């Protein structure tokens, strides 16, 4: 089984250097996938209230003989529940669905600047962290101005910013801001949702190392110092996706991969304008 390195967050806690994504699995699928992923060696699991699968994730995690302290569970606050009191209530509901007494990481899923409630939500998350209900707190899809406002208004810097990031949508500017603020960047859709895996340049780099294009994409994220959270419903892919800590991309590889990067390769919403349905 692959041993996964740990990284240290700005609050002193440790986080696995790769995790397992669970969107768009439903409850039964998530339960089965989480069981397989645990057996494969994953210890970081990513879910969200909005995915509707926290219950399946929680059941899957219960069913395996791994200590609670050895797994790291991330869930997220959905947009409809932003606000101080509603964040506290939403957190309790997530905890109940996950069947856990604490969560390792709670993220604001999207900033939704039009609602202007992310600072209030953040204040509730700071309280939950002080109470020990959540170990670490962070955000997702936050742009530099959103991060700065949280810090200016509360003095508390998020531990993580989980953003769309794949080799062809490399997010260098946002990562630089995250890094300067001491925030760990997590990469969602690190495989670009599978679309880019047939690219010939990526294929050539993979061939040089005797690896798959997916492993090169995940290794690229790891080499930028970020944490990928790939999703797969297939046990053999889950295992292969973990084997990214025993080879290194060269400068030439990184230069070749940089040619794939373009802002138009975004697959999800633009955080400046995105509105959660």
Q: So which residues are the catalytic ones?
A: 51
Judged by CB under 6 A, which of 17, 40, 240, 249 binds ligand NAP? 240
Q: Which stretch binds ligand NAP (CB under 6 A): 3-11, 65-73, 173-181, 237-245?
A: 237-245
Q: Which stretch binds ligand NAP (CB under 6 A): 18-26, 121-129, 152-160, 257-265?
A: 18-26
Binding residue numbers for substrate: 109
Q: 176: closest CA among 165, 168, 192, 188?
A: 165
Specify the 3-state DSSP secondary structure of 147.
helix
Total residues binding ligand NAP (CB under 6 A): 28
Q: Specify the residue, 183 or 191, whose C-beta has the smaller distance to ligand NAP.
A: 191
Q: Which helix (H) or strand (E) holds 84?
A: helix 84-98
Judged by CB under 6 A, which of 94, 174, 190, 239 binds ligand NAP? 190
150/113 Cα distance (integer angstroms): 12
189 is an interface residue for ligand NAP by CB under 6 A: yes
Long-range contact pairs involving 69-72 (C-beta distance under 8 Å, separation at least 24): 70/43, 71/38, 71/43, 71/44, 71/45, 71/104, 72/15, 72/16, 72/19, 72/43, 72/44, 72/45, 72/104, 72/105
Q: Encoding tokens for residue 194?
A: 């599978």
Judged by CB under 6 A, which of 234, 247, 250, 262 binds ligand NAP? 234
Contact in structure between 12 and 37 (CB atoms under 8 Å) = no
Judged by CB under 6 A, which of 214, 216, 242, 244 binds ligand NAP? 214
32 is an interface residue for ligand NAP by CB under 6 A: no
Could you tell me the smallest distance in angstroms from the CB atom of residue 85 to ligand NAP? 23
Binding residue numbers: 109
Contact in structure between 77 and 103 (CB atoms under 8 Å) = no
Could you tell me the smallest distance in angstroms from the CB atom of residue 203 to ligand NAP? 13
48/160 Cα distance (integer angstroms): 15
28 is an interface residue for ligand NAP by CB under 6 A: no
23 is an interface residue for ligand NAP by CB under 6 A: yes
232 is an interface residue for ligand NAP by CB under 6 A: yes
Strands 103-108 and 72-77: parallel
Judged by CB under 6 A, which of 133, 175, 231, 239 binds ligand NAP? 231
Strands 6-8 and 14-16: antiparallel
Residue with the shortest CB distance to ligand NAP: 21
Residues that bind ligand NAP (CB under 6 A): 21-23, 46, 109, 140-141, 162, 188-194, 197, 212, 214, 229-234, 237, 240-241, 268
């Amino acid at each position: 089984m692959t041993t996964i390195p740990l990284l240290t967050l700005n609050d002193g806690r440790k986080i696995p250097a790769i995790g397992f994504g669970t969107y768009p699995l439903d409850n039964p699928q998530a339960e089965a996938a989480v069981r397989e992923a645990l057996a494969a060696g994953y210890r970081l699991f990513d879910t969200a209230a909005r995915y509707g699968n926290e219950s399946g994730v929680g059941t899957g995690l219960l069913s395996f003989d791994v200590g609670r302290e050895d797994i790291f569970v991330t869930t997220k606050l959905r947009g409809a529940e932003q606000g101080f009191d509603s964040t506290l209530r939403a957190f309790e509901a997530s905890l109940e669905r996950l069947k856990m007494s604490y969560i390792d990481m709670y993220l604001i899923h999207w900033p939704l600047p039009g609602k202007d409630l992310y600072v209030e939500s953040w204040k509730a998350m700071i309280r939950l962290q002080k109470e020990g209900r959540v170990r670490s707190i962070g955000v997702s899809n936050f742009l530099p101005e959103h991060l700065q406002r949280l810090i200016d208004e509360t003095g508390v810097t998020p531990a993580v910013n989980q953003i769309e990031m794949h080799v062809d949508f490399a997010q260098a500017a946002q990562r630089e801001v995250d890094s300067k603020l001491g925030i760990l960047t997590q990469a969602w859709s690190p495989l670009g949702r599978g679309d880019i895996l047939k690219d010939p340049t990526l294929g050539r780099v993979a061939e040089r190392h005797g690896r798959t294009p997916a492993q090169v994409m995940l290794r690229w994220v790891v080499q930028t110092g970020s944490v990928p959270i790939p999703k797969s419903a297939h046990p053999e892919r889950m295992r292969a996706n973990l084997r990214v800590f025993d080879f290194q991309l060269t400068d030439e590889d990184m230069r070749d991969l940089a040619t794939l990067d373009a802002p138009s390769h975004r697959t999800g919403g633009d955080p400046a304008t995105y509105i959660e349905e």
